[in-house]
């Protein structure tokens, strides 16, 4: 088994993060420095920062209604990191990000193999947000958001925008640039006052109270696992 896959299956992080840890020299195998592409077998001792990792016993998939002020990282030195906030008994990490000032649905797991299925842009998965800005929106503003906005030298993908109040709207994205919605609004002269993610693919925030989390239901989890299995077979 490749080392990055082994690390992701312990629930420590995703494969991409594991590669970064390996490249930074934080990982050893049987006491020796590891390299990208290192293979591990049963009985090998893998350590990160001197701490041994063991294959987890149970997959965990949860949905959390993240409050503003919580950072989507597992780095322990970051105050208000989401792993410490949730305090799960397993070592879980967020699937993707939701910026510190935003709130709403974030998925977490200890299974690094599921991450690409949800995050890869080419899969075209939808994420839906409830947005409030500081002044009334106009039809022109909404049309420009929907058509795509140039931010940082890149034009965003077309998206679905639905007005829900004088200064509020829902927005459905199929990409996830850093702070994308805030930057799109800013480029058009608006400032976001509240940003809440309410859906990722078929998984909805629903009535989950802010600051609380729940396990994904079998019905929510099944499409993710099925899609992962299909892509693994095709690969």
Q: Which residues are catalytic?
A: 99
Secondary structure (3-state) at 46: strand
- Termini Cα distance of the chain: 16
CA dist., res. 212 & res. 206, Å (int):
12
Check if the beta carbon of residue 96 is closer than 8 Å to that of residue 119.
yes
SS3 43: coil
In angstroms, the Cα distances linking 156 to 41, 53, 111, 120, 159 are 44, 40, 30, 16, 8
């Amino acid at each position: 088994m490749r080392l990055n896959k082994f690390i992701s299956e312990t629930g420590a992080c995703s494969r991409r993060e594991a590669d970064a840890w390996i490249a930074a020299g934080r990982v050893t195998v049987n006491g020796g420095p590891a390299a990208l592409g290192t293979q591990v077998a049963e009985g090998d001792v893998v350590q990160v920062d001197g701490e041994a990792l063991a294959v987890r016993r149970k997959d965990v998939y949860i949905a959390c209604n993240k409050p503003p002020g919580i950072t989507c990282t597992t780095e322990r030195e970051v105050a208000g990191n989401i792993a410490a906030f949730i305090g799960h008994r397993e070592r879980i990490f967020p699937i993707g990000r939701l910026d510190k000032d935003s709130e709403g649905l974030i998925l977490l797991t200890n299974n690094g193999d599921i991450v690409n299925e949800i995050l890869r842009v080419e899969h075209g998965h939808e994420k839906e947000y409830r947005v409030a800005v500081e002044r009334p929106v106009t039809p022109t503003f909404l049309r420009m958001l929907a058509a795509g906005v140039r931010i940082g030298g890149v034009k965003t993908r077309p998206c679905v925008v639905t007005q829900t109040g004088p200064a509020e709207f829902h927005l459905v994205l199929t990409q996830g640039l850093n702070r994308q919605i805030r930057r799109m609004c800013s480029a058009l002269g608006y400032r976001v006052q509240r940003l809440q993610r309410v859906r990722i693919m078929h998984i909805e925030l629903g009535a989950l109270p802010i600051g609380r989390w729940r396990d994904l239901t079998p019905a929510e989890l099944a499409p993710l696992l099925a899609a992962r299995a299909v892509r693994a077979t095709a690969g």
